[in-house]
């Protein structure tokens, strides 16, 4: 399906990128995450993570797959660095696998794990690409998960220790750090709804995980700085929340969802307090941790994909998450957003909601908002190679152009956005839906691990080049 109501095809002309209003020096990058790309699950002393356990449980992953091999980035990283060099990106956002570095989540470090990331970091620096690692992208070391994972306050301390180890080792070469990826998703889908690892269905009982992830973030910032790291942020997912109607019930449900999915994860960091309505759900004594959670960061990372429409609870089947329905006992329901193009993952494509979100950030946080980086944005478009081997993923080009222009609109409205990391460099393991959704600028043939740069890859390269010479 064409993205018929996105701006017309002159958006596909990369030389027009300078019209989008992105500021001088704007940073371009690409993102991946360890469990989604590395593979080598049982090599060189890596310990198991919550995702190894979860993906190996029957029925958890749509196509029955797992990340054992993934895109074999562990072995093929030199080729992947060469692809990034071809793209001309300034930075590569990847994640360290905690259980590769500290196989049990505490105690001894695994030298072979650090060696892999040394090779990756040094290879990136040699290629002129800034390594921009995330310390934790959902793959909790299994022994820690078995002790309650992020429901257990102790995990926040273990995470801070691990942050210190990694910073001691890499702070000389890594000049941009991300603590945690999308704590909201791990809390809601991992501990709340059971759609992702660790697969618990605690509903609102998942709130301690949110608090401990935020505490882990704050403690990690402090540990990173103590070990000499600078330029530290977090990557938080934000889904602008649209009420299904102006009925008081829908407005109330949407307000609750908005606090839960958005402000619960940014207010404590940026304002040093939780949204009031969330407070009764938090662990006792939470307020004593707020100073640690709100330790200043150097920038704030926004991951944006789409808005969400929310109504009062309903018996009717609503919008699905990774093919799953939400628990009907929740005090809200999700409604399909109609009238917009959709990606192959069925996510609505609404670039103007991205601009509005960024402007909301400026208005909500004012002076307390540090510069923003877009740490993820992208779309699942499942086009494969045609008979000539070309992957003509025009819809990804349209999506990305429209979203970069949306960032430009936010900049024009006074939001300080400094860079954009496209999700993702490569097609990869998309969590509960396995390999069925392709987010990459580079196509991966999962049988052979052949990499085929898609049309969007060449386009992104041309956009970066056009802006460099503008």
R_g of the chain, CA atoms, integer Å: 21
DSSP state letters, 165-233:
HHHHHHTTT---EEEEE-HHHIIIIIIISSSSTT----GGGGHHHHHHHHHHHHHHHHHHHHTT--SEE
CB of 38 to ligand IFM, least distance (A): 13
- CA 109 remoteness from chain centre: 26
- Sites for ligand IFM among residues 79-118 (CB under 6 A): none
Integer Cα distance of 199 and 51 in angstroms: 10
Q: Is 284 a catalytic residue?
A: no
- Sites for ligand IFM among residues 236-255 (CB under 6 A): none
- Measured from the Cβ of residue 25, the count of other Cβ atoms closer than 10 Å reads 9
Integer Cα distance of 184 and 65 in angstroms: 24
* Comparison of 26 and 439: residue with beta carbon closer to ligand IFM: 439
Q: What track of x and - describes contact with ligand IFM for positions 409 through 438 (by CB under 6 A)?
A: --------------x------x--------
Contact 439, 454 (CB under 8 A): no
| Number of residues lying near ligand IFM (CB under 6 A) | 8
> Is 213 a residue that touches ligand IFM (CB under 6 A)?
no
* Comparison of 14 and 197: residue with beta carbon closer to ligand IFM: 197
CB of 32 to ligand IFM, least distance (A): 8
Q: Which of 376, 430, 447, 450 is catalytic?
A: 376
CB of 133 to ligand IFM, least distance (A): 14
CB of 239 to ligand IFM, least distance (A): 11
**Cis, bond preceding 424 (omega within 30 deg of 0):** yes
Residue 365: exposed, middle, or buried by beta-carbon count in 10 A (0-12, 13-18, 19+)?
middle
Q: How many CA atoms, within 13 angstroms, populate the side-chain half-sphere of residue 452?
A: 19
CB of 460 to ligand IFM, least distance (A): 17
CB of 430 to ligand IFM, least distance (A): 5
* Comparison of 17 and 407: residue with beta carbon closer to ligand IFM: 407
- Sites for ligand IFM among residues 7-46 (CB under 6 A): 33, 36
* Comparison of 102 and 303: residue with beta carbon closer to ligand IFM: 303
> Is 159 a residue that touches ligand IFM (CB under 6 A)?
no
Query: What residues form DSSP beta bridges with 333?
Result: 311
Contact 342, 348 (CB under 8 A): yes
DSSP count for the chain of H helices, then E strands: 15, 14
* Comparison of 267 and 427: residue with beta carbon closer to ligand IFM: 427
Q: Is 146 a catalytic residue?
A: no
Integer Cα distance of 78 and 124 in angstroms: 9
- Sites for ligand IFM among residues 274-303 (CB under 6 A): 303
* Comparison of 110 and 236: residue with beta carbon closer to ligand IFM: 236
Q: Which of 182, 352, 367, 450 is catalytic?
A: 182
Q: Name which position in 145, 376, 393, 427 contacts ligand IFM (CB under 6 A).
A: 376
Integer Cα distance of 367 and 385 in angstroms: 48
* Comparison of 305 and 460: residue with beta carbon closer to ligand IFM: 305
CB of 184 to ligand IFM, least distance (A): 10
* Comparison of 193 and 290: residue with beta carbon closer to ligand IFM: 193
Query: What residues form DSSP beta bridges with 342?
Result: 348
Which residues are within 8 A (CB) of 280 and not within 5 positions of it... i.e. 6 or more apart? none
CB of 182 to ligand IFM, least distance (A): 6
Q: Could you tell me the sign of the dihedral formed by the alpha carbons of 244, 248, 249, 252, in that order?
A: positive
- Sites for ligand IFM among residues 433-462 (CB under 6 A): 439
> Is 182 a residue that touches ligand IFM (CB under 6 A)?
yes
Angle, helix 394-412 to helix 455-469, in steps of 10 degrees:
30
Catalytic (active-site) positions: 182, 376
Q: Which residues of this protein are in contact with ligand IFM, per CB under 6 A? A: 33, 36, 182, 303, 376, 423, 430, 439
């Amino acid at each position: 399906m064409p993205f018929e109501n996105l701006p017309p095809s002159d958006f596909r002309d990369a030389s027009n990128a300078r019209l989008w209003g992105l500021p001088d020096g704007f940073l371009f990058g690409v993102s991946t995450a360890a469990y989604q790309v590395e593979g080598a699950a049982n090599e060189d002393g890596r310990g198991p993570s919550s995702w190894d356990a979860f993906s190996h449980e029957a029925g958890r992953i749509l196509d029955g797959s797992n990340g054992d091999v993934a895109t074999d980035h562990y072995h093929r990283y030199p080729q992947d660095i060469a692809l990034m060099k071809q793209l001309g990106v300034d930075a590569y956002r990847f994640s360290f696998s905690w259980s590769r570095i500290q196989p049990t989540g505490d105690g001894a470090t695994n030298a072979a794990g650090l060696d892999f990331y040394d090779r990756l970091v040094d290879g990136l620096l040699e290629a002129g690409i800034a390594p921009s690692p995330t310390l934790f992208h959902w793959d909790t070391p299994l022994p820690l998960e078995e002790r309650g994972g992020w429901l257990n306050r102790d995990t926040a301390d273990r995470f801070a220790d691990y942050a210190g180890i990694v910073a001691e080792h890499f702070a000389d070469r890594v000049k941009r750090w991300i603590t945690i990826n999308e704590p909201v998703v791990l809390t809601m889908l991992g501990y709340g709804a059971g759609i992702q690892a660790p697969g618990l269905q605690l509903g609102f009982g998942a709130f301690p995980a949110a608090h401990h992830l935020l505490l882990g973030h704050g403690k990690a910032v402090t540990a990173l700085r103590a070990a000499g790291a600078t330029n530290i942020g977090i990557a938080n997912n934000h889904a602008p929340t649209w009420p299904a109607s102006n009925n008081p019930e829908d407005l109330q449900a949407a307000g609750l969802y908005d606090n839960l999915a958005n402000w619960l994860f940014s207010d404590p960091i940026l304002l040093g307090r939780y949204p009031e309505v969330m407070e009764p759900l938090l662990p006792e004594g939470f307020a004593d941790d707020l100073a640690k959670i709100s330790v200043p960061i150097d920038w704030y990372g926004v991951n944006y994909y789409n808005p969400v429409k929310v109504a009062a609870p309903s018996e009717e089947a609503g919008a699905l998450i990774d093919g799953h329905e939400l628990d009907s006992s929740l005090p809200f329901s999700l409604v399909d957003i109609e009238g917009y193009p959709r990606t192959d993952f069925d996510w609505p494509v609404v670039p103007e909601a991205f601009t509005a979100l960024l402007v909301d950030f400026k208005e909500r946080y004012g002076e307390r908002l540090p510069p923003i980086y877009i740490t993820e944005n992208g779309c699942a478009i499942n086009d494969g190679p045609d008979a000539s081997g070309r992957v003509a993923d025009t819809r990804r080009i349209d999506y990305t152009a429209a979203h970069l222009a949306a960032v430009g609109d936010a900049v024009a409205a006074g939001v300080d956005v400094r860079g954009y990391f496209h999700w993702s460099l490569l097609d990869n393991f998309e969590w509960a839906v396995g390999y069925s959704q392709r987010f990459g600028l580079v196509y991966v043939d999962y049988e052979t691990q052949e990499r085929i740069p898609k049309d969007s890859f060449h386009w992104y390269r041309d956009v970066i080049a056009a802006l460099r010479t503008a």
